[in-house]
Structure 1
Amino acid sequence: ALVPDRPAYLVNRDHHGAWVNSRALQAAGIDARTPDPADGRIERDADGAPTGMLQEGAANLIGRLLPPVTLEQRITGLLRAQALMHSLGVTAWQDALLGEHANLTDPTDAYLATAADGRLTARVVGSLWWDRSRGTEQIDELVARRTAGTRGRLRCTTVKIMQDGVAENGTAALLGPYLDGCGCASDNSGISFVPPLDLQKYVTELDARGFQVHFHALGDRAVREALDAVEAARTANGRTDTRPHLAHLQVVHPDDIGRFRELGATANMQALWAAHEPQMDDLTIPFLGPERSAWQYPFGDLQRSGATLAAGSDWPVSSPDPIEAIHVAVNRVLPDAAPGTPVFLPEQRIGLDAALTAYTAGSAYVNHLDDVTGSITAGRLADLVVLDRDPFAAPTEEIGATHVLETFVGGERVYAAG
C-alpha cells in the first residue's frame, strides 16, 4: 500500500534480512512455490505465501536485482565514513566485507583508488569475503586479491567467513533449539552457513596460505565450530602468526571460554550490545532461555581466562563510537539508559583499563599493527586521540560523556572538534 508502483527493498538494521513489497517479490519470481535457500528463510503466512520478510541468504533473491552503485558513489561513501570514524577517534579499522554479497556493493575499488592518491588516511585491513556457495577453488583468487589489495594504507590480508546469522531472527547457530513464544523447545537451532568439516578444511588451507581468518560467530554452536576450525589449522600447520579472531560472541558455551587462549584465537568484542534494551529483552532472552541468556557476551570470563581481547563496532549495524561501547563494557548499561535499568550480567563487566586496551592495543594486535601502533610508545607511529577529559578521573557511570577533541594518524591531524 505504501509503495505500490515500484519494487521496494528495505534492509534490516543488522543487515541479516530485508523487508520487500509485492512488486519486488514479483520481480524476483518469489511465490508460495519458491523453496527457502540453503542459507536463508522466506517468511510465509498461514497459506505459505511469502509475507515480504526475507531472512539471511533469502534477501539475496531480491538484492541481486538492485541497481548498481557507481565508483564515484562508493568513494564518496568511503570518505564520508572515514570522516565519521576519525571524529570518533578511530585511526584504523578492519572492513569485514570486501567482495560481493547480498545487497552490498564491493568497496574494494574505492579503497584502492583512495589508497593510491592518499585520501585514505586511516589504516585499513580488508577482510575478503568467503563465498559460502563455493569451496577451496576460490582460495587462489583470494591470494590474487590479497596481492592486488595491498596499496598505501590498505592491506587485504584477511578472509571473512560468516558462520551463522543472528539470534533475533533465529539464524544464529545454537547447540540446542531456540524456545518458541510459549517457552517450549522449537525445531530450529539456527543455521551453520558452512558445514563444520568443510570449515575446518577451508580454514586450514587459508591459514597455510598466510591468511588471517575473521569469523562471524554469534551462537554457541558457531563459536565452537570456529574454534574447532582454528584447532584443525593449528594441528595441521603449527602455531603460525595468522591471528584468527572470532567476532560477536553473543552466546559462548562455558566449555569453550578457555579455548581462545589455548588456540591463540582473539575474542573480538562488540561491547555496545551487552546491555538491556528492547532487542535483547524482547527478541533474544525469551528465545534463548535463562541458562543460555547467562552465557551472553562473556567478556569478564574471557579476560579472566587469559584470552586476547580486541574490540570493534560492527558499524553500520550499530554505533561506531568506541566511547559508547567502552562505557557498556565497563558498566553493562547503555550510556543513555533510564535510571534503574538493571545491569546486564554484572559479573561479565571488565575494567576501564581492559576495555581501553581492547579498543587500542587489542585492535592493533588483531590487525597486525601492534609493532607500529596501538600504544603511546617511543618509536611508534603517532596514531593518537585527544579526549576532553581523563576517563579514569570520574565515576565509571560518566565514561559515556567523554568526547574526542582531536585525532591524529601518523602525526597528521585528521580531525579537530569544531
Structure 2
Amino acid sequence: MPADVLFTGGAVFTGTGEPLRGHAVVVTGDRITAVVPESEASALIGEGTRVVDLGGALLSPGFQDAHVHPLSAGVELLMCNLTEATDAADAVALVKAYADANPDEAWIQGGGWSMDHFPGGAPVRTLLDAVVPDRPVVLMSRDHHSTWANTAAITAAGVDATTPDPADGRIEREADGTPAGTFHEGASDLFGHVRPAIGADLAYAGLLRAQDELIALGITGWQDAWIGSGLGGVQDVASVYRRALLDGTLRAHVVGAQWWERAGGLEQVEEMAARRAEFAALDGGRFTLGTTKIMVDGVAENQTAAMLTPYRDVHGHDTTNSGLSFIDPERLREIVTQLDRAGFQVHFHALGDRAVREALDAVEAARLANGPTDGRHHLAHLQVVEETETARFADLDAVANIQALWATHEDQIDELTLPFLQDGAEARQYPFGDLVRNGARLAAGSDWPVSSADPMDAIHIAVTRVAPGSDDEPLGGAHQRLDLATAMAAYTSGTAWVNHRDHDTGHVREGYLANLVVLDPDPFSLPADEIHRSTVESTWIEGELVYSRTT
C-alpha cells in the first residue's frame, strides 16, 4: 500500500544504538509500517503520500518525559510566573507587575523563583510586603520544595512565632522566631486551609497550555509525577485529565503517578486500585493510573535531602542534620511491598544517598516477598548515590530516572549545595556513568517546571556535564558522562519501558505508533559542545503532524 507519510533524506535514530543511515520510514494511518532502504522508498509513494524530506535532519522516536508536572507548570504560566526572573530584584518586580495588572485577585499565587537568587536560598516576607502589602502572596519555588509568603499570607494562615515546624518541613525564622517568609517542604502546607484552590477551568487551561509546550519540544508522552490533591492549589489532578480525555484534547500518552500521602496508611493501596480501574474503564490507554509516587526525602539546597552523613554549616562544621526521611524506612518497605503485590509501579523521589538506599531496600523487600514482578520501579533525581549502591539498580531491576539538566556546575549546586556537603561529595553528584557501567537501565525526565522541559538541553549536559558556553570542569568528572546514543535512548525507549509503552512507542520500528520527532541539525552530526543547537523541527503523534517550527 502507498504510504500516508514517508520520511526520507536523513538519519533515523531507532531508539537505541547509532542511527540508521540511508533508510526511509513509512507511516500508514497511525503506525510505522516499514523502515526500508532509500532505494526502495519511491515504490511506496502514492498520489496521496506526504513526503517529508528531512534534508539531513534526524528522525527519532518522540521523546517521553519520565518525571514532569504539567498541571503546575501550565497553571504557573497563566499566573504570577517568576521563571524568567534573573535575580531577586527582578522577581520582586514581576510580582508587583502581576499584582498591579490583577487588582481583583484576592490572593497572588504562582511560582518559579530560584533559590540561588536569595541569600541562603530563602527569600524574606518583607521583600513581598514592599510591593504587595495588602493582599496575601504565596509563591512556590521553582523546585516546588519551598514557598515564599508575605506577611498578609502568614497572618491569614494563623502562623506565628509559636507555630512549630512540621515533622516533614521547616520554617525559616527571624531572631525572635517570627516566620521570615520561606517555608520548606511540608511547612508549605500551612497555607493549604486558607489559600484559594485553583479553579477547574484554570487547571484545565493549564494542562492544555503545558501540553502545547511539551509537544513543541518533541515530547509525545510523559509520566505525571503527582496525581493527587494540592499540587500548586489544584485539588484533583486526575479530574483534569478525565476532562481532557472526555473532550478529546489529550494528545499525548500519559502515565499518572498517584500521590502517596505519607501521613496515610495502607488503605491507600485499595483506593488507588479503584482509581486505576476507573480510568482503565474510561479510556483505552491514553491515560493510566498504574503508578504510585512516593517522596522519600527532600532536596539538598534546603538540606532536607536524606544523606548518610551530616550537612555542614557555613563554617564547614558538621551539624546534627542529615536531612529528612519522610517515611520511616521500615514502613516504606511495607508500603512498597503492598503496592508491588497489588500490581503498582512505584516512582520514588530519592535525591540523597540515604534516600536512594532506603528506596532500593524497599524494592528489595518487595522482591523477596513477592518474587519478580513487572513493576518497573524507578528512582528519580539521584543527586547523590553512594558508590556501592549503583550496582543494586540492575540487581533489583530498578530504573535510574535521571534529570540530566541538573548534572552541571551552576549557582544552585555551587553555592547552596556543595559547600554544605562532606568532602568528596562532588564526585558522587549524579553518577550516570557509574550507573550505566553497572548495568542500570536509564529513563530520563525534566521535573518541569523545576527546570526546562527541553530534552535536547538535558541531553547536551548528559553528554558533556557542562552547560553550553561554560568553561567549568565536568561535574563529578568526565567519567560520569553518557554517550549521545545512551542519552537519547533514555529519553525515548528508556522512558517508554518505564511507562509500560515499550510495545508500541519509544522505537522507530514496524508496527509501532508513529510518534516521532524531527531534530535539526542532526545531533549525531554535531560536536558534543554543540548538541544543544539541535532543535525540534516537527512533532508527530500517531501519524499526524501536531507541531511544526515553521508554521
The answer, yes or no, to whether TM exceeds 0.5 is yes
**Length, aligned pairs only:** 416
Give the drift of 1:104.
3.7
Give the drift of 1:241.
0.3
Letter in 1 for 2:489: T
Q: Which among 70, 73, 91 is matched to residue 199 of structure 2?
A: 70
Q: Which among 240, 249, 254 is matched to residue 382 of structure 2?
A: 249
Question: In structure 2, what is the equivalent of residue 148 of structure 1?
Answer: 278
Question: In structure 2, what is the equivalent of residue 298 of structure 1?
Answer: 431
**Deviation digits for residues 168-207 of structure 1 (CA, Å, limit 9, x no counterpart):** 0000000111011111111111111111000000000000
Stretches of structure 1 that go unaligned for 5 or more consecutive residues are: none
Structure having the higher strand fraction is 2
Q: Distance in 2 between matches of 1:33 and 1:308?
A: 48
Q: Which among 464, 474, 495 is matched to residue 343 of structure 1?
A: 474
Q: Distance in 2 between matches of 1:91 and 1:20?
A: 36
- Map 1:113-132 → 2, pairs under 5 A: 113-132=243-262
Q: Distance in 2 between matches of 1:103 and 1:63?
A: 10
**Deviation digits for residues 18-45 of structure 1 (CA, Å, limit 9, x no counterpart):** 0111111111111111111111011112
Letter in 2 for 1:87: A
Q: Decide which structure has the larger Cα Rg and report it.
A: 2
Question: In structure 1, what is the equivalent of residue 525 of structure 2?
Answer: 393
* 1:109 is the counterpart of 2:242: no
Question: In structure 1, what is the equivalent of residue 146 of structure 2?
Answer: 17
Give the drift of 1:50.
1.4
Give the drift of 1:2.
2.4
Q: Which among 308, 314, 317 is matched to residue 181 of structure 1?
A: 314
**Kept in 2: contact 1:6–1:23 (CA 8 A):** yes
Give the drift of 1:377.
0.7
Q: Distance in 1 between matches of 2:229 and 2:288?
A: 18
Question: In structure 2, what is the equivalent of residue 220 of structure 1?
Answer: 353
* 1:282 is the counterpart of 2:415: yes
- Find runs of 4+ consecutive structure 1 residues off by over 6 angstroms: none
Q: Which among 491, 500, 503 is matched to residue 371 of structure 1?
A: 503
Give the drift of 1:341.
2.4
**Kept in 2: contact 1:66–1:103 (CA 8 A):** no
Q: Distance in 2 between matches of 1:238 and 1:116?
A: 38
TM-score, L = length of structure 1 = 0.98
**Deviation digits for residues 383-413 of structure 1 (CA, Å, limit 9, x no counterpart):** 1101112211121111000100111111121
Q: Distance in 2 between matches of 1:396 and 1:342?
A: 15
**Kept in 1: contact 2:456–2:532 (CA 8 A):** yes
Question: In structure 2, what is the equivalent of residue 134 of structure 1?
Answer: 264
- Map 1:37-52 → 2, pairs under 5 A: 37-52=166-181
Stretches of structure 2 that go unaligned for 5 or more consecutive residues are: 1-129
Give the drift of 1:97.
0.3
Q: Distance in 2 between matches of 1:259 and 1:18?
A: 35
Question: In structure 2, what is the equivalent of residue 410 of structure 1?
Answer: 542
Q: Distance in 2 between matches of 1:101 and 1:202?
A: 22
**Kept in 1: contact 2:537–2:549 (CA 8 A):** yes
Q: Distance in 2 between matches of 1:146 and 1:209?
A: 11
Higher relative contact order (CA 8 A, sep 6+): 2
Letter in 2 for 1:342: E
Q: Which among 385, 391, 394 is matched to residue 261 of structure 1?
A: 394
**Deviation digits for residues 261-298 of structure 1 (CA, Å, limit 9, x no counterpart):** 00000000000000011001101110113312211100
Which stretch shifts more, 395-404 or 66-75?
66-75
Report the identity percentage.
56
**Kept in 2: contact 1:63–1:102 (CA 8 A):** no
For the residue of structure 1 that corresponds to 2:428, the secondary structure is coil
**Kept in 2: contact 1:21–1:52 (CA 8 A):** yes
Give the drift of 1:342.
2.3
Q: Could you say what the CA RMSD is over the residues aligned between the two structures, in angstroms? A: 1.1
For the residue of structure 1 that corresponds to 2:482, the secondary structure is coil
* 1:98 is the counterpart of 2:231: no
Give the drift of 1:102.
5.7
Q: Which among 370, 379, 393 is matched to residue 237 of structure 1?
A: 370
Letter in 1 for 2:402: M
**Kept in 2: contact 1:57–1:102 (CA 8 A):** no
For the residue of structure 2 that corresponds to 1:413, the secondary structure is strand
Q: Distance in 1 between matches of 2:320 and 2:426?
A: 19
* 1:323 is the counterpart of 2:456: yes
For the residue of structure 2 that corresponds to 1:95, the secondary structure is strand
TM-score, L = length of structure 2 = 0.74
**Kept in 2: contact 1:172–1:191 (CA 8 A):** yes
* 1:60 is the counterpart of 2:183: no
